[in-house]
Structure 1
């Protein structure tokens, strides 16, 4: 399904892919400062609101499992436009929800629509080639980190002036704008779907039957789970336990964004100079170190902003160095099934992130210890997978 795009088209496509990257994180992160307000509005606890983020991630994953293979058969554009409409409907439903179950239901609908944004990864595979793909994925992961850090600050500002509902209005406006851009940019600008009778399950069986794909996708999922777990429990740590205001909390996440920028710069530097397995190993060892540092700081000094943020900055840099390369290594194995491969990788990311973050959020009084153990155990497992893939080269 791949085709080359012209030099003149590239800036517009890259800008559009970056906006899709923003929308992939915006509905999760912009609401973080509004957790207390949402809990008060729906008469529930902030812990339950935090767990709703994990539910969103799992619904997001289930949607992606269908969208990717269908886009290989029906074409990217149809699925993108339909998914954006569903996302807007879900966000509108959240605004009129009368109770927590209704709110959660419409959040899942919104998540199903947001699943279409994973096609940005398939579009990178479709429209770019070679090392350009890896450079663009590094840029997208870095941009995603910046958006993650900025979104809570925007959310705090929206919460202060217009309440939690305003974040859904902003999401709907962004989504509608992106829908219009997709319709215009992709007019005659995408490769046509390849007619196929291959069943969705057979497509996934083919992808998951490749041991190298599973290894690289699992490495990517592990690094994402470390990042996502922190995002989910960070309102509990900073606002519930450390009593930071929503504005103060959002400012702490700006440092988190700085770590993404630093990690992205390092990833770009390493990408030009060392092999991919070595780069992944460096990032994973940083995550291991972050787990050790978090456990030691928690033991010595207890819970504080610094004892959480210092190891998280190390973890974030490691994630940014590792994840785009592991994604590219996995995706490059199936260039003719880019939609299926993208969905498989992303579903693994969000299922792992959703389940692990839900588990960690149950350790209400030992969140930093649970995070540290998570980083340590998962990164060691990922290092083992990276070693296996390096010692058993893939034979096409």
Structure 2
């Protein structure tokens, strides 16, 4: 079942960025411009944030399994719309519908919490979310090669095939795990009110969101710093960028191996310290005016490891605050993480320009890393059942 959840969780992040190398080709084919095609990314992220909030209560009422299956079916519908679209309007509609695959991200965490103890769930979430690292690591490279040799629509044919595979696996391999199946949706929606009033939930949610923001902040401004400051080509940037999700995959693996022995709170603190340390390592050569590709991207392995340790642990703590609202908590956590990450990315994209671009980039990352560490330090020590 863990393999099935890994694949179901990887579909959405893969769909986020696999089409990015094809944006210029899509713009030419559909008779529009690059920024308009770029809406296919931003609208997708907005839809993912909204859908994760909705998916949680629906899964608490109707079950995890049917909601994930429904999300995958909608993903296939959206992919088909993108495949056969002849106008940019239909393409963007297809991208919004595709975002339904985000049910795999949100509910895989709730499923893990349904099945495992709190401490064990952190380890299992670490394994499941490795798919979130692998997908963005290989997505742009695969998408670029397929676009070059087979055209941009081949990218969506690949997404269609992977969506079918995920749907088949979920249908045959995933059992229903919700122990509170049948609770009315209105009552489940009220769980958001209960979660909002739980300070411990917001500590876990804040730690996971700010640790995510440190990474997304880098994404928002690193392209400009790489191309305009370091004079890297887009291809060189893509090669260096592999270090980021590689570190995240390592961190997820370490979480899977260590979290039961170390505990949720200490995993959060260790991961946050590593994230903060990585940002400080990047800051030093910037202050010394000796920034290089290695000094910019090399420490991102450490940041990725920190993210991979903190994020699953904080998520496990957040979905365990109220076990009767695990689905709602998973959706709210996912929405907060993506929402704050998008804000951090927008800030760095706006201010990481000109001679002080690298400094602006690191300051946003530094602020997010410090807040993540502070929240991890005050996080409660939770029971392990």
Indicate whether 1:44 and 2:33 are aligned.
Answer: yes
Between 1:366-375 and 1:169-178, the stretch displaced more is 366-375
Out of 225, 239, 248, the residue aligned to residue 251 of structure 1 is 239
Paired with 2:157 and 2:342, the residues of 1 have a C-alpha distance of 25
Q: For 1:16, what is the secondary structure of its paired residue?
A: helix
Deviation at 1:100, TM superposition (A): 4.6
Conserved in 2, the CA contact under 8 Å of 1:87 and 1:112?
A: yes
Deviation at 1:364, TM superposition (A): 5.4
Using a 3 Å threshold, how does the CA distance of structure 1 residues 272 and 339 change in structure 2: closer, same or farther? closer
Describe the superposition over 1:118-175 as per-residue Cα deviations: whole angstroms up to 9, x where unpaired. Answer: 2111111223334332211111233422332122222222222123322221111111
Residue in 2 that maps onto 1:377: 367
Paired with 1:32 and 1:237, the residues of 2 have a C-alpha distance of 19
Within 5 Å, which residues of 2 pair with 1:68-147? 68-147=56-135
Paired with 1:269 and 1:117, the residues of 2 have a C-alpha distance of 21
Indicate whether 1:357 and 2:350 are aligned.
Answer: no
Paired with 1:178 and 1:335, the residues of 2 have a C-alpha distance of 27
Using a 3 Å threshold, how does the CA distance of structure 1 residues 302 and 169 change in structure 2: closer, same or farther? farther
Alignment RMSD (CA, Å)? 3.0
Out of 263, 267, 271, the residue aligned to residue 259 of structure 2 is 271
Indicate whether 1:24 and 2:29 are aligned.
Answer: no
Between 1:223-232 and 1:53-62, the stretch displaced more is 223-232
Deviation at 1:35, TM superposition (A): 4.2
Flag structure 2 segments of 5+ consecutive residues without an equivalent: none
Conserved in 1, the CA contact under 8 Å of 2:4 and 2:174?
A: no
Deviation at 1:232, TM superposition (A): 5.1
Residue in 2 that maps onto 1:152: 140
Within 5 Å, which residues of 2 pair with 1:169-208? 169-186=157-174, 193-196=181-184, 198-208=186-196
Paired with 2:382 and 2:3, the residues of 1 have a C-alpha distance of 35
Conserved in 2, the CA contact under 8 Å of 1:54 and 1:358?
A: no
Deviation at 1:287, TM superposition (A): 1.9
Q: For 1:362, what is the secondary structure of its paired residue?
A: helix
Conserved in 2, the CA contact under 8 Å of 1:64 and 1:346?
A: yes
Conserved in 2, the CA contact under 8 Å of 1:25 and 1:148?
A: yes
Paired with 1:240 and 1:163, the residues of 2 have a C-alpha distance of 29
Within 5 Å, which residues of 2 pair with 1:227-242? 227-231=215-219, 233-234=221-222, 236=224, 238=226, 242=231
Paired with 1:225 and 1:163, the residues of 2 have a C-alpha distance of 34
Between 1:303-312 and 1:166-175, the stretch displaced more is 303-312
> Please, what TM-score do these two structures have when normalized by structure 1?
0.84
Describe the superposition over 1:200-244 as per-residue Cα deviations: whole angstroms up to 9, x where unpaired. Answer: 541211112110011101111111222234345555555677452
Conserved in 2, the CA contact under 8 Å of 1:220 and 1:349?
A: yes
Indicate whether 1:387 and 2:345 are aligned.
Answer: no
Out of 55, 58, 62, the residue aligned to residue 46 of structure 2 is 58
Deviation at 1:376, TM superposition (A): 0.7
Between 1:119-128 and 1:142-151, the stretch displaced more is 142-151
> Please, what TM-score do these two structures have when normalized by structure 2?
0.86
Using a 3 Å threshold, how does the CA distance of structure 1 residues 309 and 171 change in structure 2: closer, same or farther? same
The alignment of Structure 1 onto Structure 2 pairs a total of residues equal to: 380
Paired with 1:141 and 1:321, the residues of 2 have a C-alpha distance of 11
Residue in 1 that maps onto 2:358: 368
Between 1:216-225 and 1:193-202, the stretch displaced more is 193-202
Paired with 2:178 and 2:265, the residues of 1 have a C-alpha distance of 32
Describe the superposition over 1:75-132 as per-residue Cα deviations: whole angstroms up to 9, x where unpaired. Answer: 1222122211211222222234445554333322211343454211111122333433
Within 5 Å, which residues of 2 pair with 1:303-382? 304-363=292-351, 365=353, 367-382=357-372
Residue in 2 that maps onto 1:3: none
Conserved in 1, the CA contact under 8 Å of 2:317 and 2:382?
A: no
Using a 3 Å threshold, how does the CA distance of structure 1 residues 44 and 338 change in structure 2: closer, same or farther? same
Q: For 1:195, what is the secondary structure of its paired residue?
A: coil
Deviation at 1:311, TM superposition (A): 3.0
Using a 3 Å threshold, how does the CA distance of structure 1 residues 357 and 228 change in structure 2: closer, same or farther? same
Residue in 1 that maps onto 2:248: 260
Q: For 1:218, what is the secondary structure of its paired residue?
A: helix
Describe the superposition over 1:292-331 as per-residue Cα deviations: whole angstroms up to 9, x where unpaired. Answer: 3333333444765324212322221211121111111111
Using a 3 Å threshold, how does the CA distance of structure 1 residues 198 and 227 change in structure 2: closer, same or farther? same
